[in-house]
């Protein structure tokens, strides 16, 4: 992209993007560490995840303030305006991912570890791995200004949803077999749901990046695997 | 950007006949002596709407504006070719009375230029010249109505015989708009009407433009992108004598198709 006549304008837009990248880096690390803390039942790591959420909140506020300042100073148009508005939305999505990871970490600090080792954990780790890939890819698409990459992320959200469905069924089975596992399994259900929702935010970011780069909304059919709301929950049915 | 398609530059095309094109230009070229100032411009200007022309200095937007009421005729070395029609009638038809054309197509200039006469006479001049009023009462009515439609009457009603040049800049510009609308034009051309005005006077003119568009076809040349975005429904971007892109104002300012338009409106033109 050619540069602006006013160089300070480029610097301001660059600062916005840099803050998004910084937020993205923190959120990615929180996702990795939250699931790691769960797998190892590492409470101190979980606490560090909870603490990092504040950094995301602060960065989000900085982004909003800078965006408002740029709009007031420069009256941005076209792709610049889309970039600034998109940055505000992406910051909000990343901040939500941070909240979800904080929630996982908080659960880890109160969970008993005696049910650890169920296959469900492997499923959650696999889900987290996929979502982390989605988050990384979508942040790359933002940094590289790639509408194609954003669209790719947007199209590949289905696998996470399907994993969440199978985890849901699996955990229901455990709970029916052994009522003592209900508390633990419920935590895992919420954790899986949180990871799945983090994936949804990655999809939102993909839509925003696509809009920033093309001025068009992403539309059309998209593979959706989410059906846990319809899953059979009563035994014998 | 990896999506190449929105950036593909298509050859200057002739627009499809619009629903209510008031002014239609086809393959208009303007030469000032050797200089090719306007290159093959074809565009439709819809009735009862505001169309803004934007572009860097010397891009041909004012030249094109001045073609619409044949102001370029006054420049001896200027040669206009192509076709411009208003309501389907060729305005470069040799049988056409240029004075009557300019009554139908009024113009407001960058610097307010009231006649060195009273406020009343400034507005009454045109209607009197064109014999639009049978008597003093009718002329009074036209003057008061025009001043009212230009949102100036309340400010000057007690001093209609004071010189027009004694008004503030913004008032003078509204006086010029009142003078333009006094002869009941169909089209009003405005060449940077607010560039000499302060923000408050500018806001008043913009408000006025918005009111006038229910009755007039307005074409405005402006260097303020924000003004174009605020007041117009259609926007045309000119560059180096060519019409680069024309479309709904919303589309031009949020998602322009041509890279040159995008570079200009985002402040990237070197």
What is residue B6's predicted lDDT score, i.e. its pLDDT?
41
Number of compact structural domains in chain B: 1
Whole-number Å distance between alpha carbons of B133 and B149: 18
CA R_g for chain A: 20
Look at chain A and count its residues.
237
Inspect the interface and report whether the beta carbons of A76 and B266 lie closer than 8 Å: yes
Cα maximum dimension of chain B:
69
Strand B187-191 relative to strand B105-108: parallel, antiparallel, unpaired?
parallel
Tokens of A117: 């080792």
B43 lies in a domain? yes
Q: Collect all residues with Cβ–Cβ distance below 8 Å to A208 and sequence separation of at least 6.
A: A86, A89, A90, A93
Tokens of A176: 């029916």
**Residue A234's closest CA among A173, A187, A179?**
A173
Indicate the DSSP class of residue A164: H
- A100 min Cα distance to partner chain B (Å): 33
Which domain does B214 fall in, by range?
21-116+186-265
What is residue A145's predicted lDDT score, i.e. its pLDDT?
95
- B5 min Cα distance to partner chain A (Å): 10
Q: Which positions in chain B touch A211 (Cβ < 8 Å)?
A: none
Q: Collect all residues with Cβ–Cβ distance below 8 Å to A213 and sequence separation of at least 6.
A: A79, A145, A146, A147, A150, B1, B2, B3
What is residue A42's predicted lDDT score, i.e. its pLDDT?
92
**pLDDT digit string (tens) for B153-162?**
999 999 999 9
Question: Dihedral angle at the C-alpha atoms of B202, B193, B178, B164, nearest 10 degrees?
Answer: 90
pLDDT at B1 over 70: no
- A147 min Cα distance to partner chain B (Å): 7
- B247 min Cα distance to partner chain A (Å): 14
Look-up of token digits 């998602």? B255
Tokens of A5: 């006549």
Classified as helix, coil or strand, A22 is: helix
Inspect the interface and report whether the beta carbons of A215 and B255 lie closer than 8 Å: yes
Beta-ladder partners of B78: B32
B57 lies in a domain? yes
Indicate the DSSP class of residue A225: -
Q: Is the dihedral of CA B132, B50, B79, B14 positive or negative?
A: negative
Q: What ipTM was predicted for this assembly?
A: 0.71
Angle at A225 between CA A223 and CA A227, to 5 degrees: 140
On whether the CB atoms of residues A187 and A175 are closer than 8 A, the answer is no
Angle at B188 between CA B185 and CA B194, to 5 degrees: 140
Residue of A nearest to B249 (CA): A78
Look-up of token digits 């300070």? A8
B177 lies in a domain? no
Q: Does A5 touch chain B (CB under 8 A)?
A: yes
**Cβ density class A200-220: b for 16+ within 10 Å, e for less:** bbbbbbbbbbbbbbbbeebee
Nearest to B256 among A3, A78, A146 (CB): A78
Classified as helix, coil or strand, A75 is: coil
**Residue B256's closest CA among B9, B54, B6?**
B6
On whether the CB atoms of residues B156 and B118 are closer than 8 A, the answer is no
Tokens of A68: 């408002």
| pLDDT per residue rounded down to tens, chain A (237 residues) | 578 888 889 999 999 999 999 999 999 999 999 999 999 889 999 999 999 999 999 999 999 999 999 999 989 999 999 999 999 999 999 999 999 999 999 999 998 766 655 677 888 999 999 999 999 999 999 999 999 999 999 998 888 888 899 899 988 988 898 888 888 889 999 999 999 999 999 999 999 999 999 999 988 776 665 555 555 444 443
Residue of A nearest to B262 (CA): A78
Which CATH number covers residue B211? 3.40.50.300
Residue of B nearest to A216 (CA): B255
Whole-number Å distance between alpha carbons of A55 and A39: 24
Q: What percent of chain B has pLDDT over 90?
A: 80
B56 lies in a domain? yes
Tokens of B52: 């803004």
- Return the residue in B5, B227, B258, B267 with the most chain A beta carbons within 10 A, the one to mutate for interface testing: B267
For the residues B245-267, what does the mean pLDDT come to? 93
**pLDDT digit string (tens) for B134-159?**
999 999 999 999 999 899 999 999 99
**pLDDT digit string (tens) for B64-94?**
999 999 998 889 999 999 999 999 999 999 9
What is the 3-state secondary structure of chain B? Answer: CCCCHHHCCCCCCCCCCCCCEEEEEEEEEEEECCEEEEEEEEEEEECCCEEEEECCCCCCHHHHHHHHCCHHHHCCCEEEEEEEEECCEECCCCCCCHHHHHHHEEEECCCCCCCCCEHHHHHHHHHHHCCCCCCHHHHHHHHHHHHHHCCCHHHHCCCCCCEHHHCCHHHHHHHHHHHHHHCCCCEEEEECCCCCCCHHHHHHHHHHHHHHCCCCEEEEECCCHHHHHHHCCEEEEEECCEEEEEEEHHHHHHCCCCHHHHHHHCCCCC
Residue of A nearest to B265 (CA): A77
Neighbours of A79 (CB within 10 A): 24
Strands of B234-239's sheet in order across: B105-108, B187-191, B217-221, B50-54, B234-239, B242-248
Q: Does A215 touch chain B (CB under 8 A)?
A: yes
- Return the residue in A1, A9, A78 with the most chain B beta carbons within 10 A, the one to mutate for interface testing: A78
B206 lies in a domain? yes
Beta-ladder partners of B26: B83
Q: Which positions in chain B touch A216 (Cβ < 8 Å)?
A: 255
B130 lies in a domain? no
């Amino acid at each position: 992209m050619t540069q602006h006549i006013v160089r300070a304008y480029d610097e301001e837009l660059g600062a916005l993007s840099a803050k998004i990248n910084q937020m993205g880096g923190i959120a990615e690390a929180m996702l990795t560490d939250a699931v790691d803390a769960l797998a190892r039942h590492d409470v101190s790591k979980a606490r560090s995840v909870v603490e990092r959420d504040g950094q995301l909140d602060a960065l989000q506020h900085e982004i909003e303030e800078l965006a408002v300042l740029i709009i007031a100073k420069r009256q941005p148009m076209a792709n610049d305006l889309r970039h600034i508005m998109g940055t505000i939305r992406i910051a909000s999505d990343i901040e939500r991912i941070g909240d979800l990871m904080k929630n996982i970490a908080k659960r880890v600090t109160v969970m008993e570890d005696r049910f650890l080792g169920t296959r469900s954990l492997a499923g959650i780790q696999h889900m987290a791995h996929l979502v982390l890939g989605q988050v990384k890819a979508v942040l790359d698409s933002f940094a590289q200004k790639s509408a194609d990459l954003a669209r790719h992320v947007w199209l590949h959200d289905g696998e996470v949803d399907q994993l969440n469905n199978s985890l849901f069924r699996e955990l229901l089975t455990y709970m029916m077999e052994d009522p003592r596992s209900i508390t633990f399994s419920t935590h895992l259900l919420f954790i899986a749901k949180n990871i799945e929702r983090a994936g949804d935010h990655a999809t939102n970011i993909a839509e925003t990046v696509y809009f920033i780069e093309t001025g068009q909304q992403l539309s059309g059919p998209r593979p959706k695997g989410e059906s846990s709301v319809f899953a059979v929950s009563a035994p014998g049915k | 950007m990896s999506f190449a398609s929105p950036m593909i530059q298509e050859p200057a095309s002739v627009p499809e006949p619009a629903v209510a094109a008031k002014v239609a230009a086809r393959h208009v070229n303007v030469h000032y002596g050797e200089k090719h100032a306007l290159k093959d411009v074809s565009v439709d200007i819809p009735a009862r709407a505001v169309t803004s022309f934007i572009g860097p200095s010397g891009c041909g937007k004012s030249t094109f504006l001045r073609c619409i009421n044949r102001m370029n005729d006054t420049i001896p070395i200027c040669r206009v070719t192509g076709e411009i029609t208003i309501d389907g009638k060729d305005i470069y038809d040799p049988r056409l009375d240029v004075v009557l054309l300019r009554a139908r197509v009024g113009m407001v200039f960058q610097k307010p230029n009231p006649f060195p006469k009273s406020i009343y006479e400034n507005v009454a001049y045109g209607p009197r010249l064109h014999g639009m009023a049978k008597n003093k009462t009718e002329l009074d009515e036209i003057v008061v109505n025009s001043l009212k439609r230009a949102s100036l009457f309340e400010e000057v009603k007690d001093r209609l015989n004071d010189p027009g040049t004694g008004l503030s800049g913004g008032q003078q510009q509204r006086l010029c708009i009142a003078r333009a609308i006094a002869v009941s034009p169909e089209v009003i051309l405005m060449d940077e009407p607010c560039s000499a005005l302060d923000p408050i006077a500018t806001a008043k003119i913009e408000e006025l433009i918005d009111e006038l568009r229910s009755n007039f076809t307005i074409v405005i040349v402006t260097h303020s992108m924000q003004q174009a975005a605020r007041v117009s429904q259609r926007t045309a971007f000119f560059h180096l004598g060519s019409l680069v892109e024309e479309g709904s104002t919303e589309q031009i300012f949020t998602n322009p198709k041509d890279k040159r338009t995008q570079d200009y409106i985002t402040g990237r033109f070197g």
